[in-house]
Structure 1
Amino acid sequence: MNKVHNMRKKLLSILVFLSIYIAPPVHAQENSVAEMTPEDYISLKLPPLDSLFENAKKNPVVQIHDTKKEEGIGLLKKEKKSWLKYLSVGAGYHYGIQAYTSGYSDSATPLYYQYNNNAMSYYNVGGAISVPLDDLFDRKRRINNQKLLIKESELEKEQKLDELKQLIIELYSSIISNISVLKLKAEYMAFANAQYQVGESDFLNGKGDASALSSMKQIQINAASDYEINRATLNSSLLKLEVISRTPILKRNK
């Protein structure tokens, strides 16, 4: 009768510990990954891949190519207007007062002087064309080269975005896989904890030996170690995915 009672107590203890670690999914709160529980990981919902790809365009390694393209477009517009440097236009305006003194005399008139002044203004407008032939004939090539630079920046952006997409896919797949593994390791860790608690209780009541308890403890330590290693890998992938995709993942689960 006592054996049946002890067995029921052991089973009850195991069920209690399992119920703690394998509870119905709850939403993860806005805490750091260091505070996340097994249930937080299991209930974690990743954004769709299309959303991650779109947000990845905000990554600086992609946006830098947009900046290069804008700079190239500006230089292209400048090059297309370079023919204006062949023309030169000048204008001038002058205003002043002209004054002079004159003297007059003859045999019947004594010498006398006369002072005169009047205001004057004038302006001039002119233009010139100077076309260096080597610069003129090279203009089309310079414009084409600038167009090629713009195209090159577009291709570099597309290439970098493809690289980010591949990395996002790898992290995405790794996270899904590690969440599934973490669930199993959490279950095993809960079972190891329950087993050790039962063994410790038996040992304290004189129903077990130190060797068996030591083995249970080692199993508990190994289970916890395996869980933490898998958890660290999962955390690293989650944080990397957030940074690369410019998408909040952990904080979106409220």
Structure 2
Amino acid sequence: MGAKYIIIACLLCADFVCFAQEKQKRDSIPPYESFVPQTLTTNEYINYQLPPLDSLFEGAKTNPRLKAIGASIEAARNDLKTAKRDWLQYFSVRAGYTYGILGTYTDQESQYTPLTTVYSGATQNSWSVGANIIIPFNRFFSHRVNVKKQKELVKNAEYTQQIKFDEIKNEIIELYCNIQYQLKLLKLATESITLYNAEYQVAELDYINNKNNKDRSLSDLKHSQKVAKIEYEKIINELNIMFLKLELISNIHFRNQ
């Protein structure tokens, strides 16, 4: 009867392992979150203060590029655990249980008795438990080397992740400094547009009142006004591009906060 419980316990363990693997597979892929770009107005840009670099670096740790390498590190660590337990394949355990009825039919006949069939049988059951040890020398002596090799693969993946993180931080620093520079240019461009608009209005009134404008003609002021607006639009476009890149890399939507 003890063998029955052994077999039942083995079946329950196998079902539990299958269920755990299926649950891990369902939970392994995180839900996808769509990236919705945000833009700011001119006044919001001028008065905007960028968050600290440390917060951007912290947010960048969830960048998909780092997550991909993190998945490789996790896979390498799992392979390392498997390599460390490789010696378990040298041992095997077996168990068996049989149950049945053994019966025989015998025909008997004599000159005094007619032909009769006699049945005799008995219930039988048996069980067996055993173990084997097989040690292949090539695997036995290469076990330590394989474990060491797998450890180096884990280190290599971790170094690759750190290198990629440093590259991302360099991208963030470059975008961060360029945004600050463009924000300063935006203030100057806005002031230039305001100045040219005021000068043009004064020159236009002087022209209407038949006053000579010896300093600058209306066409010159109009051209300067146009150039200033073009430069302003370029700065706004550059800011939008750099802000979107920075939010995408750092995985932080800080402009809509």
TM category (shorter chain) comes to 0.7 to 0.9
Query: 1:86 aligned to 2:90?
Result: yes
TM-score, normalised to structure 2's length? 0.76
**1:81-121 CA distance string (max 9 Å, x none):** 22221122222222222233568999xx9899754322221
Aligned to 2:131: 127
Contact 1:189 1:220 in 2 (8 A): yes
Deviation (angstroms), 1:162: 0.6
Q: Which runs of 5+ in 1 are unaligned?
A: 1-30
d(CA) in 1 for partners of 2:97 and 2:144?
Answer: 39
Deviation (angstroms), 1:218: 0.7
Task: Return the letter of the residue paired with 2:74.
Answer: E
Aligned to 2:219: 214
Query: 1:97 aligned to 2:97?
Result: no
Gap change, CA 1:98 and 1:201, over 3 Å in 2: same
The range that moved more, 229-238 or 189-198, is 229-238
d(CA) in 2 for partners of 1:190 and 1:87?
Answer: 85
Contact 1:76 1:143 in 2 (8 A): yes
Task: Return the letter of the residue paired with 1:237.
Answer: M
Query: 1:138 aligned to 2:142?
Result: yes
Identity of aligned residues (%): 37
Aligned to 2:203: 199
Contact 1:182 1:227 in 2 (8 A): yes
Match among 229, 236, 248 for residue 231 of structure 1: 236
Task: Return the letter of the residue paired with 2:176.
Answer: Y
Task: Return the letter of the residue paired with 2:253.
Answer: P
Task: Return the letter of the residue paired with 1:72.
Answer: A
TM-score, normalised to structure 1's length? 0.77
Q: Which runs of 5+ in 2 are unaligned?
A: 1-36
Gap change, CA 1:239 and 1:105, over 3 Å in 2: closer
Match among 179, 188, 198 for residue 175 of structure 1: 179
Gap change, CA 1:177 and 1:102, over 3 Å in 2: closer
Residues 60-79 of structure 1 correspond to what in structure 2 (within 5 A)? 60-79=64-83
Deviation (angstroms), 1:205: 3.1
d(CA) in 1 for partners of 2:59 and 2:158?
Answer: 18
Aligned to 2:250: 245
Task: Return the letter of the residue paired with 1:235.
Answer: N
Bigger relative contact order, structure 1 or 2, given CA contacts below 8 A and separation 6+? 1
Aligned to 1:158: 162
Provide the aligned length of Structure 1 versus Structure 2. 218
Deviation (angstroms), 1:230: 2.3
Aligned to 2:192: 188
